[in-house]
Amino acid sequence: MSARIIPRLLTRSAFRYAPPRSLGIRTSSTARHNSNMSTYSAAPSWSRLIRFIAQEDGQEHMGEPVDSDLDVGIADPSSIQVHKLSGAHPWDAKKESSSSTLTVKELLCPLKKDEVNTIRCIGLNYKDHAEEAKIPLPEVITLFHKPRTALTGPGKVYIPKCVQDESSDYESELCVVIGQDCKDVPEDRALDYVLAYCSSNDISSRKAQFAQSQWCRSKGFDWACPIGPCLVSPARFPKDKGSPIVQVTGKLNGKVRQSAPTSNLVFSVAQIVSFLSQGTTLERGSIILTGTPAGVGTFDKPMTYLKDGNVFEVEISGGLGTLRNTIVYE
């Protein structure tokens, strides 16, 4: 997430982030984090999951694309064949032995609003983004929240009338989906609680953001948190220093504006999940946006913002695919 001003406490504090074990924090023996469950993993039985309306019956379904490498976010929907999954939610979805194949009519947000308890967002978490903002790297993780009413998926994103001021900005991000309630999780176990990853865009209204010291309103409007087009199991990704190895790219009207690997993160996914779980239960279905690389519009010269009719795409490697949104003034 972009930040022009970071409170002094976050950049110059003597209280640096340290992994929970080095802080002497004990892990819980409850179901929230059971230290005896050495083989526990929230990873799903599916590899990639989409939620969609089927051509065959006009109903909403969950399913796994037949073509495991197809970028469903930019493919013609009629070309997307899907194995239907049973279950009510992504964390209990399973492929049936006699699974039927359906054809996509319309892609939906892979998570429903009532499945997402909390949207947590991490600010200033790419080294190149801190450099472009001319801000020292944070010494502790910077956290803010979006309401779940901001959640949406591929397709149209509406800019509310109150912020149609030509300052709407894009932030391409890797999104983490929590698959099981957890609390006080040590860093070396944090990724066990990740259900999936997906592409996301932290749409930000800059004039509203810079008018206040808090970011929740300026980044929390309806439609300000598109995610998708699919959820991807962590089993698909090699890991390096606590994060999946992927490339995060943002394109405005087809032109690359952002591009960076997750090796450029200041705090890894494992550090983020562990830090956020200390003293706080991360509920199943919660999502975490992990920060944006350099290239946001507010630091362009001249500044580049999202306009009515623009198309913004967040493309992440490893099968996460392209989250494509068309900007529409409400």
For residue 218, what pLDDT band results from cuts at 50, 70 and 90?
A: confident
Q: Go through the domains of the chain in sequence order and give each one's CATH number.
A: 8-28+111-329 (3.90.850.10), 48-108 (no CATH)
Confidence check: pLDDT of 101 > 90 = yes
Which residues neighbour 149 within 8 Å (Cβ) at sequence distance 6 or greater?
A: 113, 222
pLDDT averaged over every residue in the chain: 89
Q: What is the model's pLDDT at position 33?
A: 53
Q: What is the model's pLDDT at position 4?
A: 43
Give pLDDT tens digits for 287-330: 999 999 999 999 999 999 999 999 999 999 999 999 999 999 99
Q: What is the model's pLDDT at position 88?
A: 95
Cα dihedral 188, 191, 193, 196, rounded to 10, equals: 180
Q: What is the model's pLDDT at position 208?
A: 80
Q: What percent of the chain has pLDDT over 90?
A: 79
Give pLDDT tens digits for 11-56: 333 334 444 443 333 344 333 554 444 456 888 999 999 999 999 9
Q: What is the model's pLDDT at position 40?
A: 63
Instruction: Give the H or E element holding residue 325.
Output: strand 321-329
Residue 276: DSSP 8-state? H
Q: What's this model's pTM, rounded to 2 decimal places?
A: 0.89
Which residues neighbour 113 within 8 Å (Cβ) at sequence distance 6 or greater?
A: 148, 149, 151
Confidence check: pLDDT of 132 > 70 = yes
Q: What is the model's pLDDT at position 9?
A: 32
Give pLDDT tens digits for 259-268: 999 999 999 9
